[in-house]
Structure 1
Amino acid sequence: MMSKDIKTLLAQKLADNNARHANANQSTYLDVGNELKRLPLDKIKSNPFQPRTVFDETEIANLAESIKEMGLLQPITVRETGLGDYELIAGERRFKAHELLGKTHIDAIVSRASDSEIAILALAENASREDLCDYEIAQALRNIEKHFPNKSRLAEAVGLDRKEMYRYLAYHDLPTSFLDKVATKPKLLSRSAAYDIKQVLNQFKFSEQQTDEVLSRVWELLELGKLEQGRIAEFIQSESLKELKSQIYCPPVAAPDIKPILSGGKPIGKFHHKGKKYVVEINAKDLDEQQRIEIEQFIETLMTKNVSS
C-alpha cells in the first residue's frame, strides 16, 4: 500500500483535476473543450493504463445497487480515440456497474487528455482507494513510464521520491514465473518485499532453477501465512546457506586397483597400486624359503628384460 504522503499527493492531483472540470451548473468534470455526453457502453474501451488488475465483484454489485437507486452521481471520463469510439480515463467501476445492470448508455465527460495525463489520473483515482496494492501501482508505473523522458520525471509526476520509485519498479526485475503467481494475489507481496527479493537474489547469484525453487517455496509460505514479508530476504539467505553446505563435500577417493593372489582358491596376498608404486604383497607364512627365492629371482629377471629392451 502507498505511503500516506504519496496517497495525499495523488489525491490532491485528482481533486485539482476535478476542480478544473467543475462549473456552476454541473457537479461534474466539465471544462473548456470538454463535453458531457450520453454514450453507448459498447463504444467505450477499457483504460490501457488501468492500474487495477483485480476488481472486487461484491464492490461492483454494491455500486450497481447504489446507481440503480440513486442514479449515476458522477459521470465517467473518457477521450475519443479517433476511430469512432472512446477510451476510459476514469470510472471503470461505474462503467462495470452499468454493464452489470444491463444498461446500454452512460453519462460521460469527453475530455482531451494526453497518454501521460490519462495514466496519472487513472493512478490517482485508484490510489485514493485503500485497497489498491503495491503490485498494481507498480504495473501502472511500468505502463506509463514510456510517456516520461526518465524515471526522475515520472517520480516527480506521481509524487514519489527516487527510493520509493525503485522499490515499485523492483517487481519487474523478478522472474516472470514468480510474477505470474503474484498477479493472482497481488496483495501478498509489498514493494519493500519485492525490492528485498531482488537484492538478495543479486547477492547470492542463484541458478535459474535454484531461483525458481526458492521463490516457489517463498510463495507457498506466503499463501499459507507462514512467512512474514519482512523476513523473506532472511528466508532466501538461509536457503542459500543450505545450498552452499550441500555443495561442500570431500571428493570421493578412487577405489584402489587391487587384484588378489590366490593359491588353491585361497587368497594369500594381492597386487595393487599404491601411489606411483605397484606393490606385490604375499603373506610370509604362506611362503617357504625356496618360493621366496624363486619370486625374487623372477622379478629381477623380468625387470632386467624390461631395462634391456
Structure 2
Amino acid sequence: MLDDLKARDKSKESEVHDDPIFKTSSELDRVLVDYIQPQSDNSRYLPVTFAQKSDDESIAALDNCVVCEKGILENRLSKDNPRYDAVNLEIEEIKNLAETLKHSELVHPISVWRKNMTDYPIVAGHRRFYAIRFLYGGLIKVKVKIYAEKPRNLSVLRHIENFSRSDLTPPDALNSYAKAVRELESLEGAKMQTERLSLVTSYLGISRTSYFRYD
C-alpha cells in the first residue's frame, strides 16, 4: 500500500518546477527598510523620492514625486501627470493596508535580492514596502525573503505575484504576461517552440483559457 502511494506521488512530480531556474537560494532575515529599493519596472512602483534627512524641512522640499516617510504618504505629482489619478488610488490602497498591518503581522514577507549589504532591490511586495515605510519609517528592520542573487526568473515571479490582483488593468496584465513569456523564451530556448503551452501554463500558474487570451 505504501509503495503504491509513493509511486502515485512520484507520478505527480512536476518536471517544470524541478528546473534549476526555480532554485535560486533564499532565506528569511531582517533588513533595514532604508536598504530596500523599489524597482521602476514593476507595475506596483510609485515615483517615490525619499528625503535625505528626516527633518520636516527636507520632507517639505520634495516636489513632483510621491513622498513616503513615517506618517506621510502624499501624491505631489503634477496634476498634469498621466499617472496622477492612478497614484491617488494606489495611495489609498496602501494606507488601507497600513491600517491592517497596525493590528496584524506581515503574513507574506517582502521578497528582495541581495545586490550588496545595503542594497536590496524588491522582487515582489512593493505595496507592503510602502505601507511599512509609511507606518514606521526607514530606520527599522523588517523580515524579508532574501534571494542570494538576482533570480533568473524575475519576471515570472513578478507575474505570479501580480496577475491575480483585482485592480490589474488589462494592459498591465498583458504587459506582465509578455515580460514573463519573453523571460521563459530566453531561459528555455528551443523547448518553448515545442512545449510552449505546457511550459507557460505551468510556470505562470494560469489556465489554458488565460493562455489563449493573452498569448
- Go from structure 1 to structure 2 and tell me whether the alpha carbon gap of 1:136 and 1:52 turns closer, same or farther (over 3 Å shift): farther
Cα deviation for residue 115 of structure 1 reads 4.2
Contact 1:77 1:89 in 2 (8 A): yes
Higher relative contact order (CA 8 A, sep 6+): 2
Q: How does 1:174-253 map to 2 (within 5 A)?
A: none
Per-residue CA distance 1:44-94 (angstroms, 9 max, x = gap): 122455234656222110111111222323321111124741111221111
> Does residue 63 of the first structure (1) align with residue 102 of the second (2)?
no
When the two structures are aligned, how many residues end up with a matched partner? Answer: 137
| Residue of structure 1 in register with 2:37 after alignment | 45
Residue 95 of structure 1 aligns to a residue whose secondary structure is: helix
Shift of 1:160: 6.4
- Cα deviation for residue 135 of structure 1 reads 0.9
Contact residue 38 and residue 121 of structure 2 kept, 8 A: yes
TM-score (norm 1): 0.37
Matched, 1:79 2:128: no
Q: Provide the rounded CA distance (Å) in 2 between the counterparts of 1:140 and 1:116.
A: 16
TM-score (structure 2 length as normaliser): 0.51
Residues 33 and 112, structure 1, Cα contact 8 Å, conserved in 2: yes
Change in Cα spacing, 1:134 to 1:52, as seen in structure 2 (3 Å) is farther
Q: In the aligned structure 2, how far is the partner of 1:160 from the partner of 1:112?
A: 31
Partner residue, 1:171: none
Larger Rg: 1
2: CA distance between counterparts of 1:164 and 1:128? 15
Give the direction of change, closer, same or farther, for the CA distance of 1:134–1:94 in structure 2 (3 Å limit): same
Distance, in Å, in 2 between the alignment partners of 1:163 and 1:71 is 38
Shift of residue 97 of structure 1? 0.2
Q: Which has the higher helix share?
A: 1
- Partner secondary structure for residue 165 of structure 2: coil
Where in structure 2 are there 5+ consecutive unaligned residues?
1-16, 18-22, 46-85
TM-superposition CA deviations, 1:15-61 (whole Å, max 9, x none): x9xxxxxxxxxxxxxx9943222212221122455234656222110
Distance 1:60 1:47 in 2: 17
Displacement, 1:112? 4.0
Name the aligned partner's letter for residue 135 of structure 1: P
Give the structure 1 partner of residue 127 of structure 2.
93
* Percent sequence identity over aligned pairs: 26
Q: Is the 8 A contact 1:63 1:97 kept in 2?
A: yes
Counterpart residue number, 2:145: 109
Question: Quick one: structure 1 residues 140 and 103, their matched pair in 2 at CA, closer, same or farther if it must change by over 3 Å?
Answer: same
